[in-house]
Amino acid sequence: MKNIKWSRLIICWLMMFALFVSFSLPSNDAYAASSTKAKVITKTYKSKQFLKYPQVSGLKSTSAQKKINSVLLKHIQGSYKSYNQLKKDMEELQGDPLCKEYPYACQYDYTTSYKVKYNKNGKVSILIFDWMYAGGAHGSGLVTSYNFNLKTGKHYTLSDTLTSKAKYTKVTKYVKSYMSKHSDIFFESYILDDFKVDKNTQFYYTDKGIALIFQEYEVAPYAVGNPVIHVPSTVYK
């Protein structure tokens, strides 16, 4: 009789333990989420608060995570090198009489920042902005897009989406048509006659396709900054 009671008690304990484990362990959905979306954290390079860059974490594949973070780290290392070169060049000018007469002409600044534009469905798109000021009326910036597969760590280029010359042609036609309809933003059409979307055009993923982001002065006046044109997947598929 005692054995029966102990058996029932042990079964009860096992059922309670199983129930506890089922609530404690991450669900399959949680595991799936870790492979379809990344946690993006902000780092500062060499304790320089003006040099901020992203790193991803929480990926199921440590190999993929290392690949992605290596590419992003390489970018900020380049930013740091550019900052040091700017600093060296501007400090050499400090003795110039021009600096005494026009102090602003010899001032300088450098910042690196980023924005996460897409982070779902196994992909992440990050824009990194490098901005520098070396005297004069205003500074200048450069935007670099990074698009990755969160499962493999593959670094996507635009050619992974526009896989043929015909697709590039279709997107170029769509973009030029959009620009001509928004002449208040973009340069006049005759200036953009030779414009083409190519493998070096910066882009990021969207829910409906891709977005192309352009450099300062590339397709519009400086005041516009980095104009963006969204291209639906129906244009190139």
Determine the pLDDT at residue 175: 98
Model confidence at 18, pLDDT cuts 50, 70, 90, reads: very low
| Cα-to-chain-centroid distance, residue 225 | 17
pLDDT surpasses 80 at 225? yes
Determine the pLDDT at residue 24: 36
pLDDT surpasses 80 at 231? yes
**Phi, psi (rounded to 5 degrees) for 107:** -85, 155
The string of pLDDT tens digits covering residues 47-84 is 999 999 999 999 999 999 999 999 999 999 999 999 99
Determine the pLDDT at residue 100: 84
Burial of 151 (0-12, 13-18, 19+ CB in 10 A): middle
